[in-house]
């Protein structure tokens, strides 16, 4: 098992070995939920109203054998207040990550082997996979091969399209999507439809050659962006009324893309990150 904390291009590693020998880790493999109930009059027990996951508190206790002063200063320099970091958890074939903020760092004042305790708070209690899942529904495939031998008529590429694609979600946690529409010409009002649940989203926009329309649907990350000539513009106001912020539910999620004009020059990809209630 190994834990790596990263922030602003720097990192600190905790493992079963010095200089930071892991003694104990809390808050990695459990999740706490707050259950809301209501007590009606003349009713035995209470009625379940809902539940929410509480903030995750990860506490790492490690032993330091040598260079105590160096590591004390290093810890306080690295674990800064009001600065977000990312914790990476590795165990056998498991690789997961979670964002955190520092709550407390505590050192033993004396001793040959001294302990350090780092308490991290994760406002979003869900762990993420280190790697994203990519589903390409329509892409351009290059046809030029080397050594180059050009016939009288030739093409530099061809479009490989799959109007319908499945995004499989084997975990038990609904995950947000990043949907990218890339225009190879003029495209009007691109859309994506969830066939199983009969829901969809559409953006009322005219895309031109080279434009990228990016939609993110994760909790707290719902937005629509247009990338044109290297300039990013927020265009949530072009969201079609009645559209749904599509997310990948547990199991199979079958999507179909469309456009009112220019579907033949439209490339589409869906990126999603697996989520977990524990590491």
pLDDT tens digits, one per residue of 166-196: 999 988 899 999 999 999 999 999 999 999 9
For 243, the enclosing helix (H) or strand (E) is none
- C-alpha angle 231-232-236 in degrees, rounded to nearest 5: 145
Low-confidence ranges of the chain (pLDDT < 50): 142-144, 154, 156-157, 159
pLDDT of residue 52: 84
The pLDDT tens digits of the residues spanning 50-74 come to 888 889 999 999 999 999 999 999 9
Place of tokens 């707050």: 34
For 73, the enclosing helix (H) or strand (E) is helix 68-78
- Cis status of the peptide bond prior to 147, with omega within 30 of 0: yes
pLDDT of residue 154: 47
Q: Which of 250, 269, 179 is nearest to 218 (CA)?
A: 179
pLDDT of residue 42: 78
């Amino acid at each position: 098992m190994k834990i790596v904390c990263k922030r602003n291009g720097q990192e600190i590693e905790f493992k079963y070995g010095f200089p930071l020998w892991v003694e104990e880790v809390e808050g990695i493999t459990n999740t706490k939920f707050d259950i809301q109930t209501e007590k009606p009059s003349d009713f035995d027990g209470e009625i379940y109203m809902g539940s929410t996951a509480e903030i995750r508190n990860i506490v790492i206790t490690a032993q330091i054998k040598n260079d105590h002063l160096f590591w004390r200063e290093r810890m306080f320099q690295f674990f800064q207040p009001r600065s977000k970091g990312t914790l990476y958890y590795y165990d056998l074939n498991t690789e997961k990550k979670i964002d955190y903020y520092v709550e407390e760092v505590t050192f033993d004042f004396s001793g040959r082997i001294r302990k350090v305790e780092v308490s991290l708070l994760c406002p979003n209690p869900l762990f993420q996979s280190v790697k994203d899942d990519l589903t390409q529904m329509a892409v351009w495939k290059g046809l030029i091969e080397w050594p180059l031998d050009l016939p009288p008529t030739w093409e530099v590429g061809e479009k490989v399209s799959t109007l319908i694609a499945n995004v499989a979600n084997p975990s038990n946690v609904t995950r947000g999507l990043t949907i990218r529409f890339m225009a190879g010409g003029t495209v009007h009002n691109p859309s994506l439809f969830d066939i199983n649940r009969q829901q969809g989203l559409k953006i009322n926009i005219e895309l031109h050659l080279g434009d990228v329309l990016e939609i993110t649907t994760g909790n707290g990350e719902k937005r629509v962006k247009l990338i044109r000539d290297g300039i990013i513009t927020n265009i949530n106001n072009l969201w079609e009324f009645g559209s749904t912020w599509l997310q990948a539910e547990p199991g199979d999620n079958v999507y179909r893309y469309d456009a009112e004009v220019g579907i033949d020059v439209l490339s589409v990809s869906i990126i999603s990150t697996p989520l977990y209630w524990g590491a």
